[in-house]
Structure 1
Amino acid sequence: MAFQEVVYRPVFGRALAVITVVVCAVGIVALFWGDVAAGLRYAWPIVLVAVLAWALFWRPSLRVQQHGITVENVLRTYFVPWPAIREIDTRYALTLRTSRRTVSVWAAPAPGRHRTLGLASKDFEGVGESAKGEYGELRPADAVSTPSGNLAQLIRGRWEELRDAGLLAAGEDPDAETVTWHGATVAVLALLAGATVVGLLI
């Protein structure tokens, strides 16, 4: 049962992160160019914005792997093994539900209203049965032409394949599902926030 690993990183988010960091860098240079003292005082909030842009828009990713799914969000990375998945939802974002937690995929939010207005029945072709609600309904975010729907269908397809092959029958291993905090990111953001407060108050 061959499976090719898939890695998803939103292009728009990464472009936004790059633009924000470049604008922040220009702002810092301008500050120091005009007044070094002002630069030392007011550069910290600009650096904070740049780091936040990186954490919010550059870092998030989704990795669909042979043994599970790795979700890298802003402050935490989750590994969800296939047997642990109980539900795959797309209401507000691509979301994986297990018996222990709900994991929202920051990299794959549900599409906005302007995107869903143009959806047609062909956009839902091939959506798995496990995506349908009690009465067979589908959400706009389940459309395979949207990132959230496309990724959800990829995950559902793999999950259903493993289920039908009996490879999920053994049940989940509680220790296999992990959460890792991004300690360095949390520390840097806290330090920059503190430096911003100090710089604005002195």
Structure 2
Amino acid sequence: MRPTLEFSSGYGRVLTIAAGVVGLVAVVAVAVQDGLGEVVRALPPTGAIVLLVWVLFWRPAVVVSDGGVLVRNPLRSTHVPWPTYLGLTVQWSLVVHTTDGDVTAWAAPRSSGTAARMRRSHDDEVVATPTKDGRLPATAEDVAAAIGDRHRALVDAGYLRDAEQAREAAGIRPERHWHVATIAALVLLVGAAVAVLVTA
């Protein structure tokens, strides 16, 4: 069994932490200048902004494992079991092709032309190194290479020999799940923020 690889944006994590710090400073400043009554009014818009930044930039990821590929986008996740995997392409971001349609990965944008040229000029077997929490930097090219490598390894080991028959017999399909709690929290916070701004 090979290790599970999780690809996400390091820039997105820095941006989310910065948004959280700015939000906290803003709330403390309101408390000092205007009192606790105004803090209650400042919390919904601040919370909505920080949560939105987290949803868009921290949470998205692509997880590659022996069980398949998990594409975690801001509002919905899709697990692609290997028997349903048909291939991938790199467009503006990574697109995973499945027996049930295409899945675009929010967390894996295509690298810039400059980054691609730098990569080619330093092509001594470039290996992505994980961060301290085990995450890997996500570019569409790196994620595509990891998915292709894992798929080939499973095919070579014979694990996907009868994938089509197994898929049809067991009704295996990509599994899609909406992030209901996240969506509900966003709706509540945005609604509260609008109410605060209207009554200002």
TM class, shorter-length: 0.7 to 0.9
Q: Under a length normalisation based on structure 1, what TM-score does the superposition of the two structures give? A: 0.79
1:111–1:146 Cα contact (<8 Å) kept: no
Equivalent position of 2:61 in the other structure: 61
Q: Which residue among 189, 192, 202 is the counterpart of 2:189? A: 192
Bigger relative contact order, structure 1 or 2 (CA pairs below 8 A, ≥6 apart): 2
Asked if the contact 2:109/2:138 (under 8 Å) is kept, the reply is no
Once the two structures are TM-superposed, the CA of residue 125 in structure 1 deviates from its matched residue by: 7.5
SS in 1 for 2:162: coil
Distance 2:3 2:20 in 1: 33
Q: Which amino acid in 1 is paired with 2:7?
A: Y
8 Å CA contact 2:27, 2:43 repeated in 1: yes
User: CA 1:40–1:10 in structure 2 vs 1: closer, same or farther (change >3 Å)?
Assistant: same
Q: Identity percentage over the alignment? A: 31
Offset at residue 199 of structure 1 (A): 0.4
Relative to structure 1, is the Cα distance of residues 40 and 4 closer, same or farther in structure 2, using a 3 angstrom cutoff? Answer: closer
* Structure 1 runs (4+) greater than 4 angstroms displaced: 121-126
Query: 5+ unaligned residues in a row in structure 1: which ranges?
Result: 127-144
CA shift in 2, pair 1:146/1:195, >3 Å:
closer
2:133 is matched with none
- The 3-state SS of whatever aligns with 1:12 is helix
Write out aligned runs for 1:14-33 (5 A). 14-33=13-32
Unaligned runs of 5+ in 2: 127-136
Amino acid of the residue matched to residue 52 of structure 1?
L
Kindly tell me: are residues 87 and 80 of structure 1, through their superposed partners in 2, closer, same or farther at Cα, counting changes over 3 Å?
same
Name the CA shift for 1:166/1:97 in 2 (closer, same or farther; >3 Å).
same
User: Does structure 1 conserve the Cα–Cα contact (< 8 Å) formed by 2:94 and 2:104?
Assistant: yes
CA 1:155 to 1:84, structure 2 compared with 1: closer, same or farther past 3 Å? same
AA in 2 matched with 1:58: W
RMSD: 2.5
Give aligned pairs, total. Answer: 183
Q: Deviations over 1:132-160 (max 9, x none)?
A: xxxxxxxxxxxxx9832122111112223
Match of 1:167 among 147, 151, 160: 160
Higher percent of residues as strand: 2
